[in-house]
Amino acid sequence: MPVSELDHRLVALRQQVREWAADLRPIALEIDRDPDAINDHLDLPAIRYLSTMVIPPEYGAPPMTVAGHRFYGMASLERAVVLEELACADAGTLLAAPGASMSGVLVDLLADEQQKEWFYGQLLERPQWTFFGLTEPNRGSDAGGLRTALSADGVLTGEKRYVGNATRASLGVVFARTRPGPLGIVATLVRTSAPGYTAVPIDTVGLRGARIGAITLDRVEIPPEHVLGSHLSAAQRGMWACVRTFNRLRPGVAAIALGIARAAYEYVLAERDRPGRDGRDRLDVLGRRIEATRRLIRSAAMSVDANGGHGHLASAAKARACRLAEDATLEACELLGPGARLEHPVLDKLTRDARGVEFMEGTENMQRLNVFHGYLAGAFGR
């Protein structure tokens, strides 16, 4: 079986999620207008699944059982399969869902037993949003240059920008600096009810469901037991964990971009009765690019699942999938003719969302740098 083919477990999972995803498209424009409308849809099976996804079984997460197989969303390949299907229905609603999300992957990697019990325990009590506070004003791509400070007596001060779900989260993680240099970066658990935490929404054009926000941390007190990775060496606590977390997450973001591209492609197929020869050829090319990108994403996910340090393929997949999402949505607009974005609000939304996913977890330029570093290190075999 080629590496990019799914086994029967994942085929069954994809089928189940595809059925659940059908609930998301009808609410896509509602969530786009008002991201807080997600509160009216928390009982949808897809949203309930997302709210406990990425919680390991040993902490009591209820499994998603499909055809006798249990799924917890811990593997990158599994997440890529789920996220493509949900994003193809609506990426905005997917990103609006509560759950462990990015923070869950970091906590799995970095937290000690007590921290995991605390973090996952909170999320199992009731559906809650989490946030992942890394990006700072004017230092987005330069994550290593972050300035948010955690003092020796546990006081957190700084600013974060463009953080998903920052205004509706009840807990999350913040990357901060304890001293200059790459070894001075740590991640800490933060409750948003803590005095000094404030967040305001940032209005966006695309992926509005993600409800990104600006966070101010004004002398937030952090108990020592909330600093992640104190049981690990200094080299493993900060940027190392951040890089490995992104390695694990990027196939999923790539799958979201792929889902957006597929949605645009399928939208044209459903809307355009008789594509002329040129239209058919363009759709064929798009269809082949979608399939090729899916294979790359699956290979990247398997590579990361086998070794969390192998993120070069994940960066290649993320860059290629985001480029595809932009090309596919613009192509769909052209194929449906002048005024397509006015006449087809769903297509207009897909086109806006495609631009947004480019910025999630690093822009194309950053992915290209990762791929180049991988090439220099011999990761692709020369």
Ligand X SMILES: Cc1cc2nc3c(=O)[nH]c(=O)nc-3n(C[C@H](O)[C@H](O)[C@H](O)COP(=O)(O)OP(=O)(O)OC[C@H]3O[C@@H](n4cnc5c(N)ncnc54)[C@H](O)[C@@H]3O)c2cc1C
The site for ligand X (CB under 6 A) is made up of 132-135, 140-141, 162-164, 207, 210, 212, 356, 359-360, 362-363, 365-366
> In this chain, which residue has its C-beta nearest to ligand X?
140
Residue 196 DSSP SS3? coil
CB of 178 to ligand X, least distance (A): 19
Tell me the angle at which helices 312-335 and 345-357 cross, rounded to the nearest 10 degrees: 150
| Residue pair 33/101 in contact by the 8 Å Cβ criterion | no
Residue 338 DSSP SS3? coil
Element of type H or E holding 194? none
Instruction: Kindly tell me which of 143 and 333 has the beta carbon lying closer to ligand X.
Output: 143
CB of 143 to ligand X, least distance (A): 7
CB of 104 to ligand X, least distance (A): 13
Neighbours of 339 (CB within 10 A): 9
CB of 109 to ligand X, least distance (A): 16
The rounded distance, in Å, linking the Cα atoms of 328 and 260 is 8
CB of 378 to ligand X, least distance (A): 23
Q: What per-residue string of b and e applies to 273-310 under the rule 16 or more CB within 10 Å gives b? A: eeeeeebeebbeebeebbeebbebbbbbbbbbbeebeb
Instruction: Kindly tell me which of 114 and 138 has the beta carbon lying closer to ligand X.
Output: 138
CB of 140 to ligand X, least distance (A): 2
The rounded distance, in Å, linking the Cα atoms of 329 and 335 is 10
Strands 169-177 and 185-191, by their bridges, are antiparallel
Instruction: Kindly tell me which of 220 and 366 has the beta carbon lying closer to ligand X.
Output: 366
CB of 127 to ligand X, least distance (A): 18
Residue with tokens 């996913």: 357
Nearest of 160, 186, 18 to residue 86 by alpha carbon: 18
CB of 103 to ligand X, least distance (A): 9
Residues near 53 by beta carbon (within 8 Å), at least 6 away in sequence = 64, 72, 73, 79, 82, 99, 100, 104
Instruction: Kindly tell me which of 4 and 204 has the beta carbon lying closer to ligand X.
Output: 204
Instruction: Kindly tell me which of 35 and 340 has the beta carbon lying closer to ligand X.
Output: 35
Instruction: Kindly tell me which of 268 and 326 has the beta carbon lying closer to ligand X.
Output: 326
Alpha-helical (H) ranges within 128-238 are 234-237
Residues near 124 by beta carbon (within 8 Å), at least 6 away in sequence = 52, 55, 59, 60, 61
CB of 291 to ligand X, least distance (A): 26
Instruction: Kindly tell me which of 84 and 358 has the beta carbon lying closer to ligand X.
Output: 358
Nearest of 114, 127, 76 to residue 308 by alpha carbon: 76
Instruction: Kindly tell me which of 143 and 340 has the beta carbon lying closer to ligand X.
Output: 143
Instruction: Kindly tell me which of 310 and 368 has the beta carbon lying closer to ligand X.
Output: 368
